[in-house]
Structure 1
Amino acid sequence: MFEKIATLLRLMRIARTLARHDALAAFEEERLIPGKLAAVAVWWGRKLSRRNTPGRPGEKLARALTELGPSFIKLGQFLSTRADLLGEQLATDLAQLQDQLSPFDGSLAKSIIEKELGRDLEQLFLSFDMDAISAASIAQVHFAETIEGEAVAVKVLRPGVEESFRKDLKLFYSLASLLEKSRPSFRRFRLTEVVQTFHDTVRLEMDLRMEAAGACELAENFADDFSYDTPSIDWDRTSRRVLTMSRVEGIPLDDREALLAAGHNLEEVLTSAAAIFFNQVFRDGFFHGDQHPGNMFVGDDGRLVAVDFGIMGRLDKNTRFFLADMLVALLREDYVKLAEAHVTAGLIPANQSIETFAQALRSVCQPIMGKDLSHFSFAKMLGQMLHLAESFDMTIQPHLLLLQKNMVMAEGVSRSLDENLNLWSLAQPLVEDWILKNRGPEARVREGITTLSGSLEKLPRLISNLEAASEKFSQSGLRLHSETIQDFHKESSGTARWAFILAIASLAFSIGFTVNFILFYG
């Protein structure tokens, strides 16, 4: 009972904060508040809201979420990938949500480090800056120098952040369930699964060893590529709540004036960024999932340096092939093939009309395809295709949503540096070469040979199993379970008996054929 009262009070505080920022209008616009409750909520919001609150509904919501704290900031950033649920403008506004909070006391960071690593701070570092250089919803970062004299950055989880997220996640699950029950049309969005995905993402972010592992994997993928760099991990000073890595310096990727002043060629920087993004997505299927400018820098030597690997995306080979097939179909403006690629990838059910879906895809893609490549927005087009979900019962794939979010970020940075250059026009030669090698005629022949080779490898085992089955059959015959025999005798349908007899005959024929095949070719 006390827990329910506490939850109700928490909901009231949340609603009051949303109302004061006039953020309830965003929910009304997208019809996310059920029935008559919407009118009441918005009326209440008008009463409590700050007068002349500036900005679009999404911007107001972002400000309210910032005030509500870490869990809500992270939720807002996560929901920015769900344009299918929130609408494109609202999702875009939430993507600008800054994960910046006031830092916690440096003495608390010191206590956490010593407890986690089992040593006094003085035994770990020659110097440790007690003032954090950056603070986010889950952790903050301090500069330090190790005993060995290496300049490092030390990331420390916020005290009590796990418990705070646990309570709010419980609330999010309840709200998702309530919304699905009150708005049956929302069940197709699988809101409870959305919260579960958010839960999984946050859980990984709150284990800094996972972030360290992601950084190492990314570094291995680019070990032979000078254009991209990641901090090295100090595993001796890393644990679940502490991450120590080499300190990196550089100019933020979107700081055009600073890049020019430092003598960097913007086209070369963007070409390098395009190649890195392409290689992460297509070549490796493992990409940095939060590539906003605050996490990307340009070093003095021109190489791009990334930080913050808490959110990483993975694309399996089939998904990468789907993206490649989609690109080929788009370039050829073959919308039937594009629709078929969606069905093959399992994005829409096979019972949907391919022709109708192809027509819908044409309506989304044709206006964009007609534009010059420098103004082509692949992120926007992918987002619009995913937005067709409502009409065609499309299954929303979280990894594609994360990819689309990063495409939006990448395109934004590209245009802020040079509006005449486009990330995808720069990456086009790489895309075409990868498609030719992996989805061209020769690649499909290789794929067929690989599949056949795999089947041939299994053949000796299959033959061995059939030999054993044949020997057992010849020695003791075919034995049926007593209940099967009783059911057979009870069955009155002659058709059923004939079907049973034919099945037994087919089995006998198959075993006999296999035995003869083995004797003849063995």
Structure 2
Amino acid sequence: MRGPHNILRLIRTLATFARTGALPIILEQAEAPVRLRVAANALAWPFLWLGLRGDPALPPVTRAITALGPAYIKFGQILSTRPDIVGGDLALQLRYLQDRLPPFDTAEAKRMIASDLGVSADQAFAAFSGPVAAASIAQVHHAHLRDGTEVAVKVLRPGIARAFRVDVDAFYTGARMVEAFLPFSRRLRPMDVVRHFDGVVTGELDLRLEAAAAAEFAINTKDDPGFRVPAPVWGLSGRQVMTMGWVDGISLADTASLDAAGHDRVALGARVLQLFLNHALRDGFFHADMHHGNLKVGPDGAIVAYDFGIMGRLDLYTRRVYAEILYGFIRRDYRRVAEVHFEAGYVPRDRDIDEFARALRVIGEPIFGMDASQISMARLLSYLFEVTERFGMETRTELILLQRTMVVVEGVARSLDPRINIWQVARPVVEEYVRDNVGPKAMARDLARTVRVLSRFGPRLPDLVEARLLRPETETTVIVPPPSRARWLALGAVLALAGVAVGALL
């Protein structure tokens, strides 16, 4: 039974933050009320001896997070891109978590390569370096194939799957406790949030899935100017090892080197944001871990993306809803933003749409009156969260990854250009998507798709109708359906027959 173990893990988490000196920093940054600070410290003090010491050479918060393990490190990576949320000093400390964690031994990496690929590293590669980057789940080596091609070899950390499972099990316990003792939090669906996080990061633990994601992403983005995705080498990739093309470049976090190399940081900041919006809206498949450590600028000025373990997908309907919400805010059409929320079922229908539109105006108008450096997508999402909470909107788990990534990307863009106007940069991408996917053109495409789908069911129509009209027991007695059902069946039959006819002409 893991319940007591998980509670112990949560207690040790609190104790670790206290023991490393991270707890008061976090409470201060979160502007926690005095009562909560007193309660947190009082709860942590008796269990201080359970807290992990961590690496004393690291700053307190980074020290605590690295000591606690991979799931906590992932969370810290997200916060490292948001200096406007955690403060500049803390964000700088947390950047350490992106790609400069202590590596494991190269000999162990070679052992894992031999075990996973069935061939030794010395046989597979003409040259194989020590680790060049180490993150929470894996580390990367620079290597050369036998034909001289430069590649990056990603190897999972030994025992990472088990270590991650321990963290996530504790998160599940914490979510259950939050739902049980803080009823107002249930609309946020903490358990669903943890499940979503679990599923996403579990996918990172099978590098074959990451290689597949990289290949799909490369196909989708092959025509995007100023953007590249290294191709995976399938013959040298497996569950614990992934090999892909190597590209030299400068990290987007190294602004001094970018300036020295003559790269236009203002243009790079705008391109990062527009690329993300294009991938999310146009393709419905986006890089969901676009922090500085996963983005470089190649010698030709192109942005090069790495690390495809966390990718996001959006279905066509969700993309349209999301685009219309953004478009409504850009145009300051708050009534339409409210209507989209109601049409999508995001807000209960028994709420007042006019009142909701007024609340949205309170969010949008101050943002448009701000200086460019103050306009923040993160601030918009924060305000929108407050309003939707008041109107009973439940957390949409399918949008969690999108919203989180949007905040991360904004952080990257703003680090390159502190005065970037998020709305001005986003506007052409959103407007183009809305023009092509919302309105008469989109309706015609939807109708054509519907007809094609119905045409495929045409040959089955007689059997479907017969099965619906006959009693299951004898299949001989006809049931006369009530008028409403009869109309539904008649309409279905007409649509299906129409589908067959149109399908034959297409």
Alignment partner, residue 177 of structure 1: 176
Distance between the aligned counterparts of 1:513 and 1:166, measured in 2?
A: 51
Runs (5+) with no aligned partner, structure 1:
50-58, 481-500
Q: Tell me by how many angstroms 1:102 deviates.
A: 1.1
Larger Rg: 1
Aligned Cα root-mean-square deviation (Å): 4.1
Point out the more displaced range, 381-390 or 449-458: 449-458
In structure 2, what is the equivalent of residue 292 of structure 1? 291
Q: Within 5 Å, give how 1:130-145 maps onto structure 2.
A: 131-145=130-144
Answer whether contact 1:19 1:44 (CA < 8 A) is retained: no
Paired position in structure 1 for 2:430: 431
Distance in 1 between residues matched to 2:120 and 2:259, nearest whole Å = 44
Q: Does 1:74 align with 2:74?
A: yes
> Structure 2, unaligned stretches of length 5 or more?
50-58, 502-506
Call closer, same or farther: CA 1:171–1:80 in 2, change over 3 Å: farther
User: Is the 1:78–1:198 Cα contact (8 Å) retained in structure 2?
Assistant: no
Look up the match of 1:241. Answer: 240
| 1:118 equivalenced with 2:118 (yes/no) | yes
Quick check: 282-291 or 343-352, which moved more? 343-352
CA distance in 1, matches of 2:453, 2:171: 46
Paired position in structure 2 for 1:192: 191
Aligned residues of 1:470 and 1:511 also touching (Cα < 8 A): no
1:386 aligns with 2:394: no
The answer to whether 1:261 aligns with 2:260 is yes
- Note the alpha carbon deviations across 1:490-511, whole angstroms, 9 max, x for none: xxxxxxxxxxx9x557778999
Q: How far off its partner does 1:76 sit?
A: 4.7
* Partner Cα separation in structure 2 for residue 239 and residue 8 of structure 1: 35
In the aligned structure 2, how far is the partner of 1:371 from the partner of 1:304?
A: 30
Change (3 A) 1:466 1:80: farther
In 1, Cα distance between equivalents of 2:390 and 2:233: 50
2:287 is the alignment partner of 1:321: no
Cα distance, 1:425 vs structure 2:
2.1
Q: Give the TM-score normalised by structure 2.
A: 0.81
2:126 is paired with a residue of what secondary structure? strand
Q: For 2:413, give the aligned amino acid.
A: S
Tell me by how many angstroms 1:513 deviates.
11
Deviations 1:3-57 (A, max 9, x none): 6665565444333212224555557997999xx99744323557969xxxxxxxx
Which residue identity does 1:355 align to in structure 2? D
1:283 is aligned to 282
Q: What do residues 254-285 of structure 1 show as CA deviations (whole Å, max 9, x unaligned)?
A: 43332232233344434443442232111111
Structure 1 residues 342 and 70, CA gap change in structure 2 (3 angstroms): same
Give the equivalent residue in structure 2 for 1:404: 403
Q: Please give the per-residue CA displacement for 1:168-226, whole angstroms capped at 9, x wherever unaligned.
A: 22222222212221222222222222221121112101111111111111110122334
CA contact (8 A) 1:389 1:396 kept: no
Counterpart residue number, 1:156:
155
SS state at 1:152 partner: strand
Q: Is the 8 A contact 2:125 2:145 kept in 1?
A: yes
Shift of 1:355: 2.0
Aligned twin of 1:217 = 216
Q: State the distance in 1 between where 2:234 and 2:324 align.
A: 41
Q: Which moves more between the two structures, 62-71 or 180-189?
A: 62-71
Count how many residue pairs are aligned between Structure 1 and Structure 2.
480
Bigger Cα displacement from structure 2, 282-291 vs 61-70: 61-70
* TM-score w.r.t. length of structure 1: 0.79
Secondary structure of the 1:133 match is strand
Distance 1:421 1:29 in 2: 25
Kindly provide the amino acid, as one letter, of the partner of residue 282 in structure 2: R
d(CA) in 2 for partners of 1:384, 1:507: 45
Secondary structure of 1:132's aligned partner = strand
Alignment of 1:23-42 (within 5 A): 23-24=22-23, 26=26, 39-42=38-41
2:281 partner letter: F
Q: 1:485 matched to which residue of 2? A: none
Counterpart amino acid of residue 349 in structure 1: P
Shift of 1:94: 8.0
In 2: Cα distance, 1:508 partner to 1:44 partner: 65
